[in-house]
Amino acid sequence: MELTGSSAIVTGGASGIGAGVARALAARGATVVVGDLQRDKGEALAEEIGGVFASLDVTDSAQITEVVEHAATIAPLRALVNSAGIANAFRTIGRDGTIESAFPMDKFELVVKVNLLGTFDMVRQAATVMSRNEPDAGGQRGAIVNMASVAAFDGQIGQAAYSASKGGVVGLTLPLARDLSGAGIRVNTIAPGLIDTPIYDSFPEPEEFKAQLGQSVLFPKRLGTPEELASMTLELLTNDYMNGETVRVDGGIRMPPK
């Protein structure tokens, strides 16, 4: 699918994987709508790549409507990349045997609301707008890539909410692809492994910590880069025969229990 002359939405686009994807899409000729809650970073990136920043909370359905409709006024909306997500870590039960120390339900619900429900809401609304496009020579009107995680398969201790949310994204992939096939819209999912993003900046000695984490990767023994995730994202968007698949981009890692 050709991206030149189209608009593309990247949620969580202001930093990390999302920013890498936004830059790659812009380099391929798309006008990128950088959807994020980080206004300063998002506006700076949008200016850098000739895109547009949109304040976007993926748990707010009305905001999603505004963003997808606005994207279509810029150019035909042909690409959506769902990279917005959050994580937390709580064990299912506490150490003291009290119900109060068990995994807080509000924390579980928030992760699912952002990662799974937010992803689906973005898909259903963006795909609706894509369905209005004129099809290309191959009958395509758009393509969607969702970001899951290797935690969907190898969830660690404390990752019940995160793994459930990302496992839900993986589970959505094939039925979404089937649902949207009649409209000429493809859907694929990426399951990233350990990726070098600003999330590690808050750790003491972050470079040393990342180097240590990288030793657990099969090969190469390092964290992945946003550019490597962006490369796979572009492949899934532009390769017309990729549909309904979940692709691990993880250096062969299989996460241990903790």
| Catalytic residue (choose from 35, 52, 150, 162) | 162
User: What letters, b where the CB count within 10 A reaches 16 and e where it falls short, cover 88-116?
Assistant: eebeeeeeeeeeeeebeeeebebbeebbb
Amino acid at site 70: H
* Whether the Cβ atoms of residue 197 and residue 17 lie closer than 8 Å to each other: yes
Rounded Cα distance between 141 and 130, Å, is 6
Taking residue 134's Cβ as centre, other Cβ atoms within 10 Å add up to: 6
Rounded Cα distance between 35 and 54, Å, is 5
Rounded Cα distance between 226 and 229, Å, is 5
What is residue 200's three-state secondary structure? helix
- Asked if 162 is an active-site residue, the reply is yes
Rounded Cα distance between 104 and 90, Å, is 8
In residues, how long is the chain? Answer: 258
**What phi and psi values does residue 219 have, to the nearest 5 degrees?**
-175, 135
What is residue 65's three-state secondary structure? helix
- Which among 105, 80, 82 is positioned nearest to 92, based on CA atoms? 105
* Whether the Cβ atoms of residue 13 and residue 45 lie closer than 8 Å to each other: yes
What is residue 143's three-state secondary structure? strand
User: Which residues are annotated as catalytic?
Assistant: 162
